Chain A
């Protein structure tokens, strides 16, 4: 009995694991490389926003001089804009 049960488990596992290999349909929408790239960029954008906010906090706390803050903020915003532009490009419908 235990051997039959074990065999059944192995068959079930093999069926579950190899399901993507049996699928010869075109890639799903969430399998689009752009989706993965977009998720990465969204995470980078959120991290950059946090950095901009941290710089503002440091300025308000008197840790950064106005000059240092402006330089840092400019740098961070340029990086954030670069990320936003890349997100925009990815979000534009293909063919445009």
Chain B
């Protein structure tokens, strides 16, 4: 790559020095906040606690400034910043320049620390006049985590490194990351990880301060819900990216990094359910503090896996020096929280016992065990290469069939309990009520099985059949819950049915938001079961003009075109699709080739031998997707490329570009047979539709409910006021 010095290089050097100073100041602020928090917590001196809180605000302001400087450097193509030179270029589209920061190890650590500082400032502002015993310790924990990540940047992965002299052009963003899903996926995952640190920090604060009622849970509930939602969106975007960009046709490959994000989501889901049991019934206190400490440890483990290089993954940054410190932090968190929990066991005793198996708390407990069991299975499968290496000296990986064998039955049971839970009441459900409530959904599940056996080959896929039946059970149970809510309100107020439904749901958004999440999850699982069990998958080799049949679809390879631009070469295949003899549209799967930086590839060859990405041709309908990917055979160009490398090496760049365009044009006019992967994926779109519904439910459940709280107050104040008067008089 030619090297030139930018005119404004001195400015870049000054800015990188200033940025490093901001990070150093942020580290000092975080360390001070941790120390002041501990001192304030030990002495009870509020001035130190207030000072610690201000230090966290300062850390947020300093890191925000650091992020702004880096983003401006990306937008200005300031290649004096090593980060910009390594992960952007003048031809990178503006949107991807803005998101390129977190495609690097250093930038993603900055993102982690920045989001943490903002979230910490938010929760400390909200609780500035509450939880006097807990907040100092929570401040210290949050600031300690912040100090760790800022320190990691300063000492191991400095985002403000500068290049001297600055190159005229950057290396550009990794082609696989030039996708809108991938641009948003990392901030969502990191936000998920970071937001889990809030309930974790308050849990540690509650344990240290011995304030182990449910108040820390109520205060951090919405942060936990945000964490769950962000992590869920991150997983959702990652799976969609895999489906559309990686060219293998799947959305989940049991990749270690994917698994690392799924595990805290599963344990966090268990936490969100079990804290309700503590809030309502005063039970599962040990379980709850263990779950949140486990969730946060798994978040750190996910961060470690992406950065350490210990396991092979398409999503990882590769081997680096930050793995050791991260492992040390995980050990500190895991051992420290275990010691803290064991030392507080006497204060974590339950206030009640489970009265009946037919109660919501008992079903929540079963659901918790299934979720944690699922996470444990995935943990074993993910780390099996390291476990096997430890015992045998050889790394053995476990592939998708192993995961499916153990995950599927647990997942099927989870679908069932997703439906049973909402039907039951806290405390105890009478057997007659249980029969009445379970009968309708049970009949729907039975009818689903009968119909599917009659009209499809679902009998050959028993696990999928169970998923459909249990998902139908869940959806029927939830529909029944909404119907009962509307009917009850209607009988009291005489409102119309739709208005009664809206009012009933609006007045208890937390409960019905949760039910919508359950419905979304059921739909997602229907999509997963259908697309994995009833998928038709064919690899074809077609010449232009040839047709092939896949499932109910007939596909014709019409023509090949090219789309060269400064960033990449694109070969686009044009397919016409018909079904039952009727044309239903066209698809245009493409393959993009990004220039290689390898000088041995030659001046012509580098345009064909760099990294390539797939743009799938997709026809999405509610009933399913027709998914196509295309792989042109460029081997026929090898003799021409070799000749071009030999003969055109000394010609100006414009002449080389002209030769490349001529070569591409020649290839497009006389294309050899190409390889296509065609997949008919029934109901696969419901994975993401269901996830979006679940997301809407989570937002609804977490939406601030000031007005409804006021209504609730008005409703109960008078009634309880009378009783309070009586109680006060008699006492």
Contacts and interface: CB of A to CB of B under 8 A. Distances in A.
A48 to B, nearest CB: 9
Contact of A85 (B14, B18, B724): B724
Contacts of B28: 10
Contacts of B423: 63
Interface string B36-57: 0000000000111011001101
Contacts, number: 154
Interface in B673-713: 709, 712-713
Contacts of A88: 724, 728
B713 A46 contact: yes
A54 B504 CA distance: 12
B47 A50 contact: no
A2 B14 contact: yes
B21 A33 contact: no
A91 to B, nearest CB: 13
Interface size of B as a range: 35 or more
Contacts of A39: 129-130
B25 A61 contact: no
Interface stretch (B107-115, B429-437, B567-575): B429-437
Interface in B217-239: 218-219
Contact of B58 (A1, A3, A13, A71): A13
A20 to B, nearest CB: 4
A2 B129 contact: no
B712 A2 contact: no
A53 B563 CA distance: 63
A65 B426 contact: no
Contacts of A90: none
A17 B32 contact: yes
A40 B712 CA distance: 17
Contact of B129 (A1, A18, A20, A35): A35
Nearest to A87: B724
Contacts of B17: 2-3, 6
A69 to B, nearest CB: 9
Contacts of B21: 2-3, 5-6, 9-10
B389 interface: no
Contacts of A23: 47
Interface string A7-42: 001100100111111010001001101011101100
Pairs of residues from A and B, 5 with the lowest C-beta to C-beta distance, nearest first: A6-B21, A63-B425, A20-B50, A58-B425, A60-B488
20 contacts: A2-B21, A9-B22, A10-B21, A10-B28, A13-B58, A13-B62, A17-B54, A36-B131, A36-B132, A43-B215, A50-B508, A50-B712, A51-B426, A54-B280, A58-B425, A61-B484, A63-B425, A68-B425, A68-B430, A84-B721
Given A61-B485, A77-B723, A84-B724, 9 more contacts: A6-B17, A19-B54, A30-B128, A35-B129, A40-B215, A44-B215, A62-B436, A63-B433, A64-B427
